[in-house]
Amino acid sequence: MEENKISAENGKRVYTRQQKRLVFYVLMFALPILQFVLFYLYVNFDSFVIAFQKKTPILGSITNGYEVVATGENFIKAWKFFFSEECGKMIWNSIQLLFCQIVIVTPLALLFSYYIAKEKPGSGFFRIMLYLPQVISVVVLGLLFQYVVGTVYPKAMEQYFDKEVIGLLLPSSSYEQNFTTALIFTLWFSFGTNVLIYTGAMSGIDQSIVESAQLDGVNSFQEFIFIYVPLIFSTVTTFVITGLAGIFNNQMNLHIFFGNADGNVDVFGYYFYRITAMNIASGGNASGNLMNLNTLAALGLIATAILIPLTLLTRKLLNKYGPSVE
C-alpha cells in the first residue's frame, strides 16, 4: 500500500489508521498492565511461594545467615491458629462488619438513592453531602472523627452529666465500645459510595417503564420494590459479592485509630497488616508467639480457599433467587 511506503518528500514513514490505533492502545494499556503484573500477580505469587518456605539458621555461620527450605509446616500452624480463640474473635468481628454492610447499609443506601433519583426536595443537597466523604481523604476524616469521639464527646458529656466520661476509640476503652465506634465510622464512610453507585444505576433506568407502571396505579413503595430494585439488582449483587470476597482484607480503617498497637478489635485485614508490620520492624525474625511472614502467607491462602467456593455459591444464589427483571 502507498500509505505504508516511505514518503519521497520528507523521508518519513506514513502509518495507516490501524497502525496508529494499535500504537495508541499499547500506550494506553501498557501502564495499567505493568501495575497489574507488579502489584497483583508478582505480590500474590510471592505470597504463594513463601507460604511453602521456612527459614532455618545456618549452624556455625558467622553472619547469622538463614537457609530457605521447602515445608508444609506453615499450613499446619496456620490451620491450628484458624481454630484458636483469637482467630474466632477476628472471624466474628469480620462477620459483624459484613452483616452490617449488607443488612443495614445496603437497604438504607437503596432508599436514599431512590429518593435522590426521583429528585425529591433536598436531593441535590444530599447528593453533595454524600459525595464529600469521597473527596476528602479517609485519613483526614478518621482523625477528625477520632478527635470528636475521643475529645469533644467526653468533654460535652462531662459538662452535661457532671461526671467523668471516657472517650471513645481509646486504648483504655472496652472492646465493645472501640469496635462499635470504629464500625460506625466504616459504615458511614462506605455509605456515600453505595449511594453514588446506586443513584447512577437508577438514573439509567428507562423512564417509559416507570411511567407505564404509574399509569397502572403503582405507588412509590411498589415502584421502588418492583421496578427500581430489580432493574439495578445486578449492581447490588456486585457490592454484596465484593464485600464477601474482601471480608478477610477489610481493615475497617482500624490503622487510622490504633496504628499497629491494639489487637483488641482485630479483624482479618487489620491483623494481617499489624503482624506484617511487626515482622518488618523485627527484621523478619519473628519471636515468641508472633506469627512469621511464612505462616501469615499460609493463613492467607487458607482464607482464600474458604472464600472462593463461598463467594461463587453466594453469587449463584443471588442470581437465582434475587428479584427478576421479568
CB of 279 closer than 8 Å to CB of 286: yes
The CATH number for 131's domain is 1.10.3720.10
Question: Does 59 reside within a domain?
Answer: no
pLDDT at 116 over 70: yes
Domains: count for the chain: 2
Same domain? 208 vs 259:
yes
> Are residues 41 and 140 part of one domain?
no
Spatial distance between the Cα atoms of 263 and 253, rounded to a whole number of angstroms: 13
pTM for the whole structure: 0.78
Q: Is the pLDDT of residue 309 over 90?
A: yes
Tell me how far apart the alpha carbons of residues 171 and 188 are, in angstroms, rounded to a whole number: 22
Task: State whether 211 and 122 are in the same domain.
Answer: yes
* 157 plus 262 within the same structural domain: yes
Pair (43, 115) in one structural domain? no
Answer yes or no: is pLDDT of 31 > 70.
Answer: yes
Q: 149-153 long-range contacts, Cβ below 8 Å, gap at least 24?
A: 149/181
Whether residues 84 and 120 share a domain: the answer is: yes
Residues 9 and 111 in one domain: no
Per residue in 272-291, pLDDT (tens digit) is 888 888 888 776 665 556 78
Beta carbons of 149 and 168 less than 8 angstroms apart: yes
Judge if 38 and 77 occupy the same domain.
no
Q: Which residues of 146-184 are buried (b: 16+ CB within 10 A; e: fewer)?
A: beebbeebbeeeeeeeeeeeebbbbeebeeebbbebbbe
**Does the residue 219 lie in any domain?**
yes
pLDDT averaged over every residue in the chain: 82
User: Is 58 within a domain?
Assistant: no
Q: Do 195 and 152 fall within a single domain?
A: yes
What confidence tier does 79 reach under pLDDT thresholds 50, 70, 90? very high
The mean pLDDT of 110-119, rounded to a whole number, is 89
Domain membership of residue 244 as a residue range? 73-321
